Amino acid sequence: MHRKTFLKSLVGAAALAMTGLPALAQDTIKIGEINHYKRMAAFAEPYKMGIELALEEFNAAGGVLGKPMEFIFRDDQGEPGEAIKIAEELMTRDGAVMITGSILSNVGLALSSLAAEKQFIYLASEPLADSLVWASGNDYTFRLRSSTYMQAAMLAEQAAQTDAVRYATIAPNYAYGKEAVEAFKKVLTDLKPDVEFVTEQWPALFKIDAGAEAQALERAKPDAIFNVTFGTDLARFVREGTTRGLFDDRKVFGMLTGEPEYLDPLVDEAPEGWVVTGYPWYDVSDEANTAFVEAYQAKYDDYPRLGSLVGYMTVQSIHAALEKAGSTETEALKAAFKGLGVDTPVGQITFREIDHQATMGAFVGTTALRDGKGVMVDWAYRDGADYLPTDEEVREMRPAN
């Protein structure tokens, strides 16, 4: 009996030890990633794939702080309330050291507000609303992607070089759309004081009545149109506008229109001659971007979208912050993100200390058809640092922290 008891105890101890080994091996640094994976799959899925590629590369090289990084992916259905609920679970139950993600600006603003309340780091990878880092900015929110103001300013700079005077605008009726129109109008008016804005159209997000909108724009007889629609709204607007001749002999300036996520689904219906922001991955030949594109294609047998690039850079930014902080503690991470420099496929970017906005830029070019598909041509990469407000302007916009 004693021998049986001893052997039983020995087997039990060995089993316990074996159970403990994988637990140690699976000890990871967890990042909570909240996004609209079902509602906006065309952007969110490539974004997730970019994250997973970067995680694979960093973890194969040893991870960070002696541990692998792990992203916990959660779907918020594009609802701010659901995003808040998920974020609180990630903070308190799932062991995340920070949160990231969101595409829609209203969701990003809700997560930013929660980050300030809970004093927890939020890296806003994709939401573009200017207020995220300025009017509603806080000490715990950082933004990776070039903001609404930055991209609108790039397009306004191009618009100022044309002879167009009468402008019409169309944008989704929520924070991102409103701020994009406001920024475009401000910058273009500063550059060309004689411009006139003859009409503004505000369709509900993803509920556009494209025929009615195109008709209203045509009635105003603008010389040029500033378009902020994206996704399914963009596809409907392009088709209705083309059918009705809205774009004939008019300049169109399009936020996001050159992103593969939104341009590719149009196939041979893609508009030609629009000045847009986007991602011409097929023609960018510098070493860093080429390495990213090749690695992405090797892993997925597919080409990257802009979301893929943003996802990849999200992991690069978090890895760099963790290395600089030397810790997963919130206050150390907050200090690390301020002034953080990150080497990326589009060159080095910096998270500014004054407003936590990264200097990631954007590609600006003209749409064209190539082999029956929309592409960007005559493009140039614009450094985001050249399109940001001054420190004095930021202090006027941003609340004291």
Per-residue pLDDT reduced to its tens digit, 9-28: 434 444 433 333 333 334 99
Q: How far is CA 121 from the centre of its chain?
A: 17
CATH code where residue 72 lies:
3.40.50.2300
Same domain, 236 and 161: yes
Residue 3 in this model has a pLDDT that exceeds 60: no
State percent of the chain over pLDDT 70.
93
Residue 8 in this model has a pLDDT that exceeds 50: no
User: Count of CB atoms within 10 A of residue 245's CB?
Assistant: 11
Same domain, 163 and 113: no
Predicted local distance difference test score (pLDDT) of residue 1? 40
Same domain, 111 and 33: yes
Comparing 10-14, 80-84, 358-362, the range with the smallest average pLDDT is 10-14
Tally of domains in the chain: 2
Question: β-pairing, 347-350 with 341-344?
Answer: antiparallel
Predicted local distance difference test score (pLDDT) of residue 206? 92
Q: How far apart are CA 169 and CA 228, in angstroms?
A: 8
Predicted local distance difference test score (pLDDT) of residue 2? 41
Residue 241 in this model has a pLDDT that exceeds 70: yes
For residue range 36-63, list pLDDT tens digits in order.
Answer: 999 999 889 999 999 999 999 999 999 9
**What single string gives the DSSP state of each residue in 364-379?**
EEEEEEETTEEEEEEE
The mean of the pLDDT values for the chain is 93
Query: Domain limits at 310?
Result: 25-147+285-361
For residue range 295-338, list pLDDT tens digits in order.
Answer: 999 999 999 999 999 999 999 999 999 999 999 999 999 999 99
Q: How far apart are CA 348 and CA 358, in angstroms?
A: 10
Instruction: Tokens for 107, please give them.
Output: 């969701």
Same domain, 104 and 222: no
Residue 219 in this model has a pLDDT that exceeds 80: yes
Predicted local distance difference test score (pLDDT) of residue 17? 39
Q: How far apart are CA 54 and CA 58, in angstroms?
A: 6
Predicted local distance difference test score (pLDDT) of residue 148? 94
On whether residue 211 sits in a domain, the answer given is yes
**What single string gives the DSSP state of each residue in 245-309?**
TTTTT-EEEEEEEESHHHHGGGGGG--SS-EEEE--TTT--SHHHHHHHHHHHHHHSS---HHHH
On whether residue 154 sits in a domain, the answer given is yes
Same domain, 52 and 108: yes
For residue range 288-297, list pLDDT tens digits in order.
Answer: 999 999 999 9
On whether residue 134 sits in a domain, the answer given is yes
In the sheet where 362-370 sits, what is the strand order? 196-201, 166-170, 224-227, 251-258, 275-278, 362-370, 373-382
Residue 54, SS3?
helix
On whether residue 401 sits in a domain, the answer given is no
- 8 or 309, which is more confident: 309
Q: How far apart are CA 260 and CA 28, in angstroms?
A: 33
Same domain, 268 and 382: yes
Q: How far apart are CA 245 and CA 241, in angstroms?
A: 6
Same domain, 124 and 94: yes
For residue range 108-125, list pLDDT tens digits in order.
Answer: 999 999 999 999 999 999
The angle at the Cα of 166, spanning 262 to 251, to the nearest 5 degrees, equals 35
Q: How far apart are CA 311 and CA 130, in angstroms?
A: 20
Same domain, 193 and 245: yes
* Model confidence band, residue 33 (pLDDT cutoffs 50, 70, 90): very high
Same domain, 297 and 260: no
